[in-house]
Amino acid sequence: MLQMIRDRAQGLVVGVIVFFICLTFALFGVQQYIDARSEVVVAKVNGEKIALAEFQRAFQQLRQRARAMFGDTFDPDQWSGAQAKLSTLNHVVDEHLLLQVIEDANMRASDVQVADYVRSSPQFQEDGVFSKDLYSRMVRVIGFSELGFEQQVRKDLVLNQLRAGVAATAFATAEELQRLEQLRQQTRDVGFTILGIELFRDGIEPTGEEVEQYFTEHREDYRVEEKISVSYVELSIQTLMADITVDNKNLRAYYDENQANYTVAEQRNVDHILIRISPDASDEEQETARKKALALRDKALGGDSFEDIARENSDDIGSRTDGGETGYFGRGVMAPEFEEAVYSMSEGDISEPIRTKFGLHVIRLKGIRPGGLKEFDEVRDDVTATVKREQAEALFFEQAEQLSELVYEQPDTLEVASDALGLVVKQTELNTRSELAEMFSAKAVDAAFDPEVLIEGLNSNPIDLGNDRVVALRLEQHEPSSVPPLNDVIDAVTRDLINSSARDAVHAHGEAIVERLNSDEGLSAVMESAELVWEDVKLATRSSSKLNRAVSRAAFRTDPPAGGKTSYIGIPIGIGDYAIVGISNVMIPPVEEINISDIAGLRRAISRDRTAASWRDFVDILKSDSDIETFPERL
């Protein structure tokens, strides 16, 4: 977007080029560039082409969803690399592949299902009640029109149907669940004592020579990060939009000139009954299906409930439970034969059996939603946002170009750009690279540490931060990375040396005690001689609140002791302590004592994990059996 700005347009030749580029856009319109770009194919899925324009829409929508989800923690730099583009391309390819499977299976989500989903979604509710205004705002935030969002919901609902079918194949046997639950409910007698590092820290008084040697060996641990302070000016579309006012006359003019954007096509809603016919069905099988379809049609014409007939007889699992209802759809959605029949019917008509590649359909036209132009008042908010956005974008690009020229022509100050564009020069505190990246972006860090900025003291190029924000910055103060003299950090070095020595001492002492215990020296005698207190937890479980978490994990990872003996182990815990743990009396409950509700909970957990794995395997198998080509170099 800002390549021209980054390249710093300069001189007569570049000025002429910029003029002709602008003239080309003015004369022929941006749409031709979009159309040309849409002809670029970035992937093929079983012969179905995925255009660059579709990939770009998906990329922007996913990026906007991520921004809405993460808010202030959103990192635009994560979306600027090749990996983000490749992941998006894979997502689009997977979606096309799955939609092909859904189309072949004739799976559908009705308007009723879509409406129920939208209305029941908490993010679209205020005080527990669906809010149309909140819905409209939230949908725009994540990069959709309302119609586009509802189409995406329809896709997602059908994909969930498919996912549910795959999930049904993921299961665990009763024997497997019982064995896992037995292990989970296993108990052990666990004893332990803890050697505190404090006892070993007391009395350690390193000499000056030892402190100096430790500092020499670990000097990089005390390195201070490089820090800089920068001044900057920021230009953003959002800020420009806030200062733009538009009158009703301009809004109405835009609406009149762009009526195609606010025109909806006619849609129709039907109930249908599908009698599935396989592609290789014999003539006899086809005739049997035709007679069944005619008989069901006669029942409907005779007054029987069409919905009940569909629920009991339709082979379309996607609409059967809704009485065969498809929901409203426009042209180009259904099979051509199905669509032609629907759009030739009057409301309430019941069709003759219609043959498609799926089988025979008996159709009843349930409703017609006329197409046409939406009223101005109905779309006023959308028109206002669009007009303000377009004006802000035009101003943004104009000012961004000016910003580029001004920070280049006056490389020793930002004040000229500030005065010319009405921007405020701001200054940061001293920040490390990571702090500066959090404040701006990784690109801004690269710019700030560029030799021209860091060493020569020049202004940076304008930097695209994403989300339609651009900054230009310059260095105010620089503190290079350095290892301070020992005298500046001697307290920290001495403290670290004492802690290191104490950890070594407590570990050595603990290992010696473990060795004595495993050599069959009596527990009481060892504890008494070491002046330690031993604590026992009988029949401890993995989640016992009486055990330190690290102690519990170690106790249940240790192999059960043989011959009724006690096994002793030692483990570091916390920030320097050392635990000695004894394990004995391992008890595994018999199957008949396992609670059925516990197995049910375990079944749900395992089912969740295996469902996710089964879905991944399902998609991988589909991809391996499909003809897929991707062209990431065209992104």
pLDDT tens-digit series, residues 210-234 = 999 999 999 999 999 999 999 999 9
For residue 2, the model assigns a pLDDT of: 41
Q: Distance between CA atoms of 245 and 351, rounded to whole angstroms?
A: 54
Closest CA to 425 of 295, 231, 605: 231
Joined together, the tokens standing for residue 267 give 């849609």
Helix (H) or strand (E) holding 31: helix 30-38
Q: Distance between CA atoms of 586 and 563, rounded to whole angstroms?
A: 11
524 pLDDT more than 80:
yes
22 pLDDT more than 70:
no
Q: Distance between CA atoms of 158 and 318, rounded to whole angstroms?
A: 8
16 pLDDT more than 60:
no
Q: Is CATH 3.40.50.720 what the domain over 266-370 is classified as, yes or no?
A: no
For residue 4, the model assigns a pLDDT of: 37
For residue 48, the model assigns a pLDDT of: 92
For residue 141, the model assigns a pLDDT of: 67
For residue 29, the model assigns a pLDDT of: 37
* Predicted confidence band of residue 573 (pLDDT cuts 50, 70, 90): very high
70 pLDDT more than 70:
yes
* Predicted confidence band of residue 23 (pLDDT cuts 50, 70, 90): very low
499 pLDDT more than 80:
yes
* Predicted confidence band of residue 602 (pLDDT cuts 50, 70, 90): confident
What is the per-residue pLDDT across 102-155, written as a single tens digit (0 to 9) for each? 888 888 888 888 888 888 888 888 777 788 878 887 877 666 778 878 888 888
Q: Which of 33-37, 163-167, 378-382, 614-618 has the lowest mean pLDDT?
A: 33-37
Length of the chain: 635
Given a contact cutoff of 8 angstroms between Cβ atoms, the answer to whether 47 and 627 are in contact is yes
Given a contact cutoff of 8 angstroms between Cβ atoms, the answer to whether 506 and 577 are in contact is yes
Q: Distance between CA atoms of 523 and 466, rounded to whole angstroms?
A: 65
* Predicted confidence band of residue 43 (pLDDT cuts 50, 70, 90): very high
Torsion of CA 560, 563, 564, 566, to 10 degrees: -60
Question: Which stretches does DSSP call E strand in 321-462?
Answer: 354-356, 359-369, 372-373, 426-427
3-state secondary structure 467-516: CCEEEEEEEEEEECCECCCHHHHHHHHHHHHHHHHHHHHHHHHHHHHHHH
Closest CA to 517 of 580, 573, 571: 580
Average pLDDT over residues 153-165: 84
For residue 31, the model assigns a pLDDT of: 36
For the chain, which residues make up each domain, given as ranges?
A: 187-204+488-587, 266-370
Average pLDDT over residues 98-104: 87
348 pLDDT more than 50:
yes
Joined together, the tokens standing for residue 490 give 């001697």
DSSP string, 121-181: -GGGEETTEE-HHHHHHHHHHTT--HHHHHHHHHHHHHHHHHHHHHHTT----HHHHHHHH
Given a contact cutoff of 8 angstroms between Cβ atoms, the answer to whether 316 and 108 are in contact is yes
For residue 441, the model assigns a pLDDT of: 87
Closest CA to 64 of 145, 153, 157, 130: 145
What is the per-residue pLDDT across 427-459, written as a single tens digit (0 to 9) for each? 999 999 989 988 998 889 999 999 999 999 999
For residue 143, the model assigns a pLDDT of: 65
For residue 360, the model assigns a pLDDT of: 95
* Predicted confidence band of residue 159 (pLDDT cuts 50, 70, 90): confident
Residue linked to tokens 């651009």: 470
Pairing of β 187-195 and β 535-540: antiparallel
496 Cβ neighbours under 8 A, 6+ residues apart? 214, 218, 221
SS3 label, residue 542: coil
For residue 34, the model assigns a pLDDT of: 34
User: How remote is the C-alpha of 238 from its chain's centroid?
Assistant: 24
- The pLDDT mean for the chain works out to 86
The arrangement of strands across the sheet holding 535-540 comes to: 535-540, 187-195, 577-587, 567-573
For residue 20, the model assigns a pLDDT of: 36
Torsion of CA 463, 464, 466, 468, to 10 degrees: 120
Joined together, the tokens standing for residue 326 give 């498809």
Amino acid at site 301: L
Given a contact cutoff of 8 angstroms between Cβ atoms, the answer to whether 162 and 611 are in contact is no
The rounded percent of the chain whose pLDDT value lies above 90 is: 51
DSSP state for residue 189 in the 8-state scheme: E
Given a contact cutoff of 8 angstroms between Cβ atoms, the answer to whether 391 and 244 are in contact is yes
